[in-house]
Amino acid sequence: MTKERDRLILMDGVSTSYSAYFHGAKFGRDKEDYPAMMDCFFMRTGAIMRVYNTKDVHIFFDDTESSIRKKIYPAYREINFQNGPKAVRTRQLWPTMQKDLLECGFSLYGSPGLEGLDLIGQVVKDNPDRKISIISEHYRTLQLLSENVDVLPFTGISAGAKSLNPIQVRDFLLQYPFKISQWTDYLSMVGYGEDNIKGVKGIGKVAATDCLTGETLKVRQVAALNASKETMEKEKKLHTLPIEPVVLELQEGGFDPFGVMKVMQKLGLTSRMKSPVWGGEENV
């Protein structure tokens, strides 16, 4: 992967924190859950910054008090309300994580009623000529792919990574024989279980793809789609990023090395402190 100094790193704080918590034990078997989670976060974020040769990192979190999507679709389940003990514990740790990230000097963002992905979508729209990497596990982000924008799942990044394998336009087109601009139409048909969005009954991935590429559908599939037009429009809006335009001014990206060292020391992440990415002297 080419190193680029002008690349923006837009991080989905919700899905990356889940990933860091779920996989933290792998990097910190002798640590409590929060230090292990942050160890994983610093390791993967450091690898991203090192490979892309940038410190222009911005982190976006959801508004957990209200949701525009819930008002449109009462059955909607925000990604920040996943079930399971690990997910519940991750949410309990968000206030502490956000406080520590601010102490590290990172730029954090949120907006009433919106998810972090909405803000990421707005930044992409506002910066059409910038090279951007979106760090997220969420399928919705694929609608933002372009020649300048890729999507990198947080899972699977190793400490010593010399390259990264983001999802790019060509990867999308190899898997899906329709336009990226049709991604929200596809999701509105097949649904998205994590958010409790059902899609159209009787329409799976094959039928949805056939519909978008102009292939002939079965009579019952056509009937199902015709009967669900209003629901599909509503669900398409739920998937659209941003769901509503928002005025967002990016702060200066990056971090404070002294703040990072202070947080790492507090959490006992002594080996991570040696990384030159964070201002240390040795590679991890």
Q: What is the mean pLDDT of residues 191-211?
A: 86
Tokens of 17: 């924190």
Stated pTM of the model: 0.91
Tokens of 271: 């080996």
153, pLDDT greater than 90: yes
Q: What is the mean pLDDT of residues 4-18?
A: 87
Q: Are 51 and 163 in contact (CB under 8 A)?
A: yes
What gap in Å lies between CA 142 and CA 167, rounded to an integer? 8
Q: Which of 65-69, 147-151, 169-173, 209-213 has the weakest average pLDDT?
A: 65-69
83, pLDDT greater than 90: no
pLDDT value at residue 186 = 94
Rounded to the nearest integer, the mean pLDDT of the chain is 88
pLDDT value at residue 112 = 93
67, pLDDT greater than 90: no
pLDDT value at residue 26 = 64
How many CB atoms sit inside 10 A of residue 201's CB? 9
Q: What is the mean pLDDT of residues 77-101?
A: 81
What gap in Å lies between CA 211 and CA 219, rounded to an integer? 12
pLDDT value at residue 2 = 46
pLDDT value at residue 90 = 87
33-50 as b/e: b if 16+ CB within 10 A: bbbbbbbbbbbbbbbbbb
122, pLDDT greater than 90: yes
Q: Are 69 and 78 in contact (CB under 8 A)?
A: yes
pLDDT value at residue 280 = 65
pLDDT in tens, 155-169: 878 878 889 999 999
Residue 284 pLDDT level (bands cut at 50, 70, 90): very low
What gap in Å lies between CA 53 and CA 50, rounded to an integer? 5
pLDDT in tens, 38-60: 999 999 999 999 999 998 999 99
Scan for tokens 């002294």, then name that residue: 258
- Give Rg (Cα) of the chain: 20
Residue 79 pLDDT level (bands cut at 50, 70, 90): low
